[in-house]
Amino acid sequence: MTDITASGASALGNRAVKRMGYGAMQLAGPGVFGPPKDRGAAVAVLREAVARGVDHIDTSDFYGPHVTNQLIREALHPYPDGLVIVTKVGAVRGSDASWIPAFTPQDLTRAVHDNLRNLGVQALDVVNLRIIMGSDHGPSEGSIEESFTALAELQRQGLIRHLGVSNATSAQVAEARGIAKVVCVQNHYNLVHRDDDVLIDELTKQGIAYVPFFPLGGFTPVQSSVLSDVAGELGATPKQVALAWLLHRAPNILLIPGTSSVDHLHENLGAAALKLSDKVFARLSGVV
């Protein structure tokens, strides 16, 4: 059986969670819109993840919309002790599956209550403000003061335990930290997409969790001949090596690889037990 405890644990707010978690985005339909093709299979993946020791699940009520949160509730409620569910707010979905920024205090309040209802909880463990400002939906500078202040107020009301930011620049992380405590930053980062190298080092010193989304490349899977060569030498898959590289990169990195397949779930979780030497880590790091 896969032992995800091999990668150790790291702080997420006031909780220590195993560094290998699970991202629920792929449980929704194509384009993260609509219901899954096989609802029973989606429920089975969630239950298997928790059965294998996963205690950190990433989701959002705009996945579907509402689909993944409702699946999580169906599969896991009442939730086991120690399970941390992290969600995101800051967008809604159009009828054409578009992603529409929703940053006003009213938007965010509605989103928090939607998450509470669909997950079936009285308070959300962690809420990330998903920042969508640029035309390509990548990180873009701009103040988040009004939006993050609104979430801090909902935290004071007891509806949110911890706050984080997603798709954020270093300046936005600093701005958020000036408003309320930030326990995690969730940005695009993997073996070949390394824009956040400096930010990760800063967050490591500050004890703030860094949670890379698209750890395996997302819609453009991570590919490299070096990655494939190392995987062959270690008797692992390239995906496992790419995840193991992230775990080696910094102790505050928490992983949330997503899948709708139990077999792929087992493959991903197996990366927790894969140890890279410093020499192999440096070799992989040289692909960029």
Sequence-ordered list of residues with C-beta below 8 angstroms from that of 169, at least 6 positions apart, any chain: 139, 140, 141
Which of these is catalytic: 63, 79, 189, 210?
63
Q: Distance between CA 111 and CA 50 in Å, rounded?
A: 26
With CA atoms as reference, report the closest residue to 211 among 240, 182, 238.
Answer: 182
Is residue 133 within 8 Å of 142, Cβ to Cβ?
A: yes
Whether the link from the prior residue into 65 is cis, omega within 30° of 0, is yes
- Tell me whether residue 79 is one of the annotated catalytic residues: no
Structure tokens of 144? 């988040």
Is residue 160 within 8 Å of 124, Cβ to Cβ?
A: yes
CA-to-CA separations, 136 to 28, 99, 131, 140, 283, in angstroms, rounded: 22, 11, 12, 9, 32
With CA atoms as reference, report the closest residue to 194 among 241, 123, 249, 148.
Answer: 249
Structure tokens of 100? 């529409």
User: Which residue reads 């698209």 in tokens?
Assistant: 214
User: Which residue reads 């590289």 in tokens?
Assistant: 245
With CA atoms as reference, report the closest residue to 11 among 197, 181, 241.
Answer: 181
Q: Distance between CA 30 and CA 179 in Å, rounded?
A: 37
- Positions annotated as catalytic residues are 63
